Amino acid sequence: MADQIQQAMKNAKAQLELSGNKVKVHHTELVRKVLSKEITNEEFLEEAKLLAKEKGREPK
């Protein structure tokens, strides 16, 4: 199962990067935690919202 998660994450990261998005280590770690059930979906969403708010405050 861990190998499947790892491969799925690699594929998703590659697709995002091909689309011009940047995937940072903390993004990858957050997704890994939710997929491996270390955190709940609700915890994932809360953390993702915080990251999105922080992104909105970054200077362009």
Could you report the per-residue pLDDT of 13-39, keeping only the tens digit for each? 999 999 999 999 999 999 999 999 999
Query: Taking 70 as the threshold, does the pLDDT of residue 42 lie above it?
Result: yes
Domain hosting 30: range is 2-57
Query: Taking 70 as the threshold, does the pLDDT of residue 5 lie above it?
Result: yes
Widest CA span of the chain, in angstroms?
Answer: 40
Q: Do the Cβ atoms of 39 and 31 come closer than 8 Å? A: no
CA distance 23 to 27: 6
DSSP 7: H
Query: Taking 80 as the threshold, does the pLDDT of residue 46 lie above it?
Result: yes
Total domain count, the chain: 1
> Which pLDDT score is estimated for 50?
92
